[in-house]
Chains A and B, each alone.
Chain A
Amino acid sequence: SELTQPPSVSVSPGQTATITCSGDALSKEYSYWYRQYPGQAPFMIIYKDTERPSGIPGRISGSLSGTTVTLTISDVQAEDEADYYCRSADSSGDSVLFGGGTKLTVL
């Protein structure tokens, strides 16, 4: 069981970025999204597929369709340039899965 993300996504400021994460586990287990800046620890920006932690702006959202979850960042800004990882669990719930990560570049 694994989670698949595109290695890179590029968008211009003000546009909308979408990052997908696909895997069979996603139809049964919740997904989570993390942002990581270089040299820093990751931090959660979406949990339970669609929920935002406090402090995360409304222009960041998550959605689920079948076995694919999507992270959408609207009105992309320079500060959104970072690595993004999806996370879930395998079907037994005993193992944690991470996607390979997507580097978001703001042109």
Chain B
Amino acid sequence: EVQLVESGGGLVKPGGSLRLSCATSGFTLGDAWMTWVRQAPGKGLAWVGRIKSNGDGGTIDYAAPVQGRFIISRDDSQKTLYLQMNSVKIEDTGVYFCSARGRDYYGDSGDYRVLDFWGPGTLVTVSS
């Protein structure tokens, strides 16, 4: 069974730092595209960033609002995804979700099903 569990959220002052973790089980972390998504209170989903699978180069991309402040990393041996949040701002407040995406290939024509799993999220509050 695939499981993702985020941790590390809490209260942090503007300008401070926080590291979120996403513990995974039930799949090979390095084979998945891992994404961080956040949701401000009462608002919609917002993409934070993503790290591709090792097979797809492990490339990391970030949303413009967090580029240069947040860092995504992955420890395949610990089966854990991280989000290092630096120079946090009030607008970084919200629930942070990690998600895993993979492909289940079938048949001979390269068709695949998309597998998509999410953790329950962890709340980050940026306030003085």
Contact = CB atoms under 8 A, between A and B. Distances in A.
A44 B61 contact: no
| Chain A residues touching B, majority SS | strand
B47 A98 contact: yes
Contact of A98 (B46, B113, B116): B46
Contacts of A34: 45
Contact of B45 (A42, A48, A51): A42
Size category of the binding interface on chain A = 20 to 34
A97 B47 CA distance: 7
A44 B116 contact: yes
Interface stretch (B18-26, B71-79, B85-93, B117-125): B117-125
A53 B45 CA distance: 21
Given A41-B119, A41-B121, A47 B114 contact: yes
Given A32-B114, A51-B114, A96-B35, A101 B44 contact: yes
A35 to B, nearest CB: 12
B45 A85 contact: yes
A97 B61 CA distance: 13
A79 interface: no
B68 to A, nearest CB: 15
A25 B54 CA distance: 26
13 contacts: A32-B116, A34-B45, A40-B120, A41-B119, A42-B45, A51-B114, A53-B114, A53-B115, A87-B45, A94-B59, A94-B61, A95-B63, A96-B47
